[in-house]
């Protein structure tokens, strides 16, 4: 498939892509905005002596790492969670609380992080802090632990020994000064004895201080200490993430739209492009008829009459030009216009094509051979009587009705519906009637029923050529293929295909939508007058006057 075909697919099914994407985004936003918000808080704890002891060894850190892994597992254990539930008086069981609690121990930093989630930010912080408190209470670092009490007593005693050593050293210095100033031998001896006693006491205090200091320097690797308490964060819920979820839904909707678009294009059997039409029929593509709006209060189907400066009218003139070689070189004087199915716009095409042929100076007869649903007379504002449906009932042939607003154009109305339409159109009398019309008219255009019915197949072998109208975006490919095969089976001469209701392409962009200074044919609301009763021979010599001007 070429790149332009991908753009054509996008143009046809782009609305589906937009709908899927928008629906996914709006639906996800609506659902997510109604979900309760979830908040998370984090508390961090230090495992081991990394801060308290300046002389931490590698063995201490290794042991603290192993203990940290233990605390990581204990943080979400049933016993710890139950203790936290009891402290907070939560109406929840440990297994349900475990789904809202997580812990992470980073061995390189000796930090244990405890995270808790809840629909209330304060509750999330309380859960994280309470679990940390329970861990501290059950560790050797608890204030009620005997080892902790012993170390606290040693620290107090060490402070008292520091005071004793300081005061003892000061007293010794004072005694030494007195000994140097005293000249009396007896007094001097007494001061020396007292100074020796103080030195003995000072030495004993220094030894006790050294022992206690060594005790306190022993690393306590099995300890947990609060570093950062959990605090509520009401402005930053972690879920739902509206932006991320909506973007994911939009992407999913976009992918779904692309898949649906490709599947619809793959399984869709409708003809959209001239390339598909050529491939399906293997026939000459004669042109596309531009889609046009129906204008209120006017004859909307005769766009070549009411608004000849539009792109739609120009497309009929292009089709007329493309048909000209067949009419002159191949001498195709009668042309049957049909379609594979109903609603393809063949009647509209036949009526407008008759108008542009007549304005090119041709003598045109437009025959309404659709005896099942006739419309030609209504399009031109003519009474639908004494027409083709009475062909087998009367000896005389139906008389053409001239259209004064379009010089050179005559109409053979259907004369109403007929039950035996196939017999009428396939009769020798119909063949004779077409032959007589060809003898005095330049172009005979025949609008028939679609190829769903046998009428067109009965009529096709009696005309010089068949033009197949296919509606863009409506007619399916299989119906078109079946229609061409049916026409070939009855020996019809199919000269080509026309794609109806196509969008205007770049070739039409230069052409104005409405000519500001160009004269119109007539007031669009004016219904053409009818001049009936002219025979074919009289019609060839008649000079029909009109108030309108030829713009071709």
Cis omega (within 30 of 0) for bond into 181: no
Look at the block and give the residue holding tokens 């230069």.
510
Count: domains in the chain: 2
Say what the pLDDT of residue 55 is.
59
For 312-340, b/e burial (b = at least 16 CB within 10 A) is bbbbbbbbbeebeebbeeeebbbbbbbbb
- For residue range 424-436, what is the model confidence (pLDDT) as tens digits? 999 999 999 999 9
Pair 210, 290 in one domain: no
Give the residue from 196, 219, 242 where a domain finishes: 219
Pair 304, 417 in one domain: yes
Say what the pLDDT of residue 91 is.
92
- For residue range 282-322, what is the model confidence (pLDDT) as tens digits? 999 999 999 876 654 444 468 898 888 888 899 999 999 99
Would you say residue 40 lies in a domain?
A: no
For residue 209, with 0-12 CB atoms within 10 Å meaning exposed, 13-18 middle and 19 or more buried, which class applies?
A: middle
| pLDDT band with cut points at 50, 70 and 90 for residue 217 | low
Alpha-carbon span 525 to 547, nearest angstrom? 14
Pair 196, 342 in one domain: no
Would you say residue 47 lies in a domain?
A: no
Terminal Cα-to-Cα distance of the chain (whole angstroms): 40
Percent of the chain predicted with pLDDT > 90:
44
The tokens for 336 are: 């049957």
Q: How many CB atoms lie within 10 A of CB 58?
A: 7
- φ, ψ for residue 516 (rounded to 5)? -70, -35
Residue 159's alpha-carbon distances to 1, 143, 333, 514, in angstroms, are 91, 20, 127, 107
- For residue range 360-371, what is the model confidence (pLDDT) as tens digits? 999 999 999 999
Pair 396, 304 in one domain: yes
Nearest to 228 by CA among 114, 57, 102: 114
Stretch 29-46: mean pLDDT, rounded? 91
Pair 346, 198 in one domain: no
Residue 431's alpha-carbon distances to 74, 173, 365, 367, in angstroms, are 102, 150, 15, 13
Give the residue from 219, 253, 268 where a domain finishes: 219
Look at the block and give the residue holding tokens 């975006």.
473
- φ, ψ for residue 128 (rounded to 5)? -65, -45
Please report the sign of the dihedral spanned by the C-alpha atoms of residue 146, residue 147, residue 150, residue 151.
negative
Give the residue from 219, 240, 259 where a domain finishes: 219
3-state DSSP assignment of residue 229: coil
Would you say residue 298 lies in a domain?
A: yes
- For residue range 103-126, what is the model confidence (pLDDT) as tens digits? 999 888 889 999 999 999 999 999
Pair 301, 187 in one domain: no
Structural domain range at position 316: 283-511
| pLDDT band with cut points at 50, 70 and 90 for residue 146 | low
Would you say residue 168 lies in a domain?
A: yes
Would you say residue 171 lies in a domain?
A: yes
Pair 287, 365 in one domain: yes
Pair 341, 469 in one domain: yes
Pair 211, 359 in one domain: no
Would you say residue 17 lies in a domain?
A: no
Say what the pLDDT of residue 97 is.
94
> For the domain that residue 303 is a member of, what is the CATH number?
3.40.50.300
| pLDDT band with cut points at 50, 70 and 90 for residue 418 | confident
**DSSP line for 276-341:** HHHHHH-S-EEEEEEP-PPPTTS-TT-HHHH-TTSHHHHHHHHHHHHHHHHHHTS---EEEEE-SS
Stretch 41-69: mean pLDDT, rounded? 75
Pair 287, 389 in one domain: yes
Pair 351, 460 in one domain: yes
Would you say residue 537 lies in a domain?
A: no
Pair 435, 300 in one domain: yes
């Amino acid at each position: 498939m070429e790149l332009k075909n991908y753009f054509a697919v996008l143009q046809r099914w782009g609305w589906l892509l937009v709908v899927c994407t928008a629906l996914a985004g709006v639906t996800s936003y609506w659902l997510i905005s109604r979900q309760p918000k979830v908040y998370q808080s984090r508390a961090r704890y230090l495992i081991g002596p990394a801060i308290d002891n300046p002389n931490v060894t590698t063995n201490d850190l290794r042991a603290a790492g192993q203990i940290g892994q233990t605390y990581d597992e204990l943080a979400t254990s049933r016993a710890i969670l139950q203790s936290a539930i009891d402290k907070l008086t939560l109406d929840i069981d440990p297994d349900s609380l475990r789904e809202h609690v997580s812990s992470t121990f980073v061995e390189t930093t000796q930090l244990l992080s405890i995270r808790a989630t809840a629909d209330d930010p304060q509750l999330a912080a309380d859960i994280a802090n309470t679990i940390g408190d329970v861990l501290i209470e059950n560790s050797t670092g608890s204030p009620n632990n005997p080892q902790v009490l012993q170390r606290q007593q040693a620290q107090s005693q060490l402070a008292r020994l520091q005071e004793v050593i300081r005061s003892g050293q000061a007293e010794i210095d004072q005694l030494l000064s007195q000994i140097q100033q005293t000249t009396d031998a007896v007094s001097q001896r007494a001061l020396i004895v007292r100074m020796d006693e103080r030195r003995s006491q000072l030495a004993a205090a220094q030894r006790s201080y050294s022992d206690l200091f060594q005790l306190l320097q022993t690393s306590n690797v099995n300890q947990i200490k609060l570093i950062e308490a959990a605090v509520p964060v009401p402005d930053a819920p972690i879920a739902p993430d509206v932006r991320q979820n909506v973007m994911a839904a939009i992407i999913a909707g976009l992918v779904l739209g692309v898949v649906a678009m490709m599947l619809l294009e793959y399984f869709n059997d409708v003809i959209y492009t001239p390339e598909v039409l050529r491939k399906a029929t293997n026939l000459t593509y004669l042109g596309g008829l531009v889609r046009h709006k129906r204008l209120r209060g006017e004859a909307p189907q005769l766009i070549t009459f009411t608004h000849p400066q539009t792109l739609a009218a120009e497309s009929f003139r292009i089709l007329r030009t493309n048909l000209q070689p067949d009419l002159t070189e191949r001498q195709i004087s009668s042309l049957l216009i049909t379609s594979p199915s109903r609603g393809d716009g063949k009647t509209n095409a036949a009526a407008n094509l008759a108008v542009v042929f007549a304005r090119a100076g041709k003598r045109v007869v437009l025959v309404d051979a659709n005896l099942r649903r006739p419309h030609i007379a209504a399009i031109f504002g003519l009474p639908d009587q004494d027409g083709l449906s009475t062909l087998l009932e009367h000896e005389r042939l139906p008389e053409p009705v001239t259209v004064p607003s379009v010089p050179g154009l005559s109409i053979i109305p259907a004369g109403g519906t007929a039950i035996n339409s196939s017999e009428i159109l396939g009769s020798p009398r119909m063949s004779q009637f077409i032959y007589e019309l060809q003898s005095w008219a330049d172009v005979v255009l025949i609008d028939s029923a679609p190829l769903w019915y046998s009428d067109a197949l009965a009529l096709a072998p009696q005309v010089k050529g068949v033009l197949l109208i296919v509606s863009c975006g409506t007619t399916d490919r299989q119906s078109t293929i079946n229609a061409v095969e049916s026409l070939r089976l009855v020996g019809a001469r199919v000269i080509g295909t026309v794609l109806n209701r196509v969008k205007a392409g770049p070739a039409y962009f230069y052409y104005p939508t409405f000519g500001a200074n160009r004269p119109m044919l007539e007031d669009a609301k004016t219904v053409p007058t009818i001049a009936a009763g002219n025979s074919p021979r009289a019609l060839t010599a008649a000079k029909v006057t009109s108030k309108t001007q030829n713009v071709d």
